Amino acid sequence: MTCDPKADYITLDDKTGKVTVKPAADAKSAKIECSILKKDKNDKQQIVKVQVEIEGKEQPSTCSISDVGFPFVADPTAPTVRPIVMNKGVKVANFDSECMKDSIKMVITPEATFVNLDTKTGELTITPTATTKPGKYDIAVTRTSVDGKTETKKMHFTVAAPACPLVTSLFPMTLKVGETQSKSILKADDSAHDMSHCAEKFEIASVGPQASFFSIDQTTGKLTANPPKTVASAGTYMVGIKSTVNGKETIE
């Protein structure tokens, strides 16, 4: 007699043909197919197949949801990977882990397509892009183990506003008295996106020599110059522009 998968607790009495099944108390559930070779007095062979189904007692899961490394600020330029399913405190290594018998579900608020939970590795990958809305994202992960117990853990991360550097290649501006000119000081490559999140505020830090006909849109970074006709027709002005991004001030 041969069995697939192999099971030492299934035996055959070759004299009586009696099949005995005696699984251990901690045996796991399984479906086993055994093939029995039968010979009669004339050596005629016949194969008889029998199926054995074991209803084992599942052991409690040794896995848990980990929030180690949370909260954190996600880098908009590179993926962030966090192992959130652990087996006795050790990172899940592969699909064969006992943890992968558990059911894992994730809910993220607000909805975000750049967050992925790999149910084979127990890893959470966050990959924001230049157009990802900055801010706080809440995650709720629920794990249902093979013994029917559930565990939910909440965690969060933040997507930082991307740095939107100022650009000076469009300058100097040549102004004519009595005419208005406007130019964006934001990086040209980002002009196709909504740039209102790039900086908390734009300000004119200084103008030399002093002049009151320069202004800047605090949200979009558009610099406007409207020299009145009373201004001398020749002169050079240096404008210092301050931007504040994630609390960091830069003057160019």
The domain limits of the chain are 2-54, 63-159, 181-251
What does the pLDDT read at residue 162?
65
What does the pLDDT read at residue 109?
92
Q: What is the pLDDT of residues 86-116, one digit of tens each?
A: 877 777 665 556 677 778 888 999 989 999 9
Cβ neighbours, 10 Å, residue 200? 15
Q: What is the dihedral of CA 23, 25, 28, 31, to 10 degrees?
A: 30
Q: What is the pTM of this model?
A: 0.50
DSSP string of 70-84, one letter each residue: -S-EEPTTS-EEEE-
What does the pLDDT read at residue 139?
93
* Domain 63-159: assigned CATH number: 2.60.40.10
Tokens representing residue 247 in the block: 């609390």
Does 143 score more than 60 pLDDT? yes
Residue count of the chain:
252
Q: Taking Cα atoms as reference points, which of 122, 124, 69, 125 lies closest to residue 97?
A: 122
From first CA to last CA, the distance across the chain in angstroms is: 84
Cis ω before 5 (30° cut-off from 0): yes
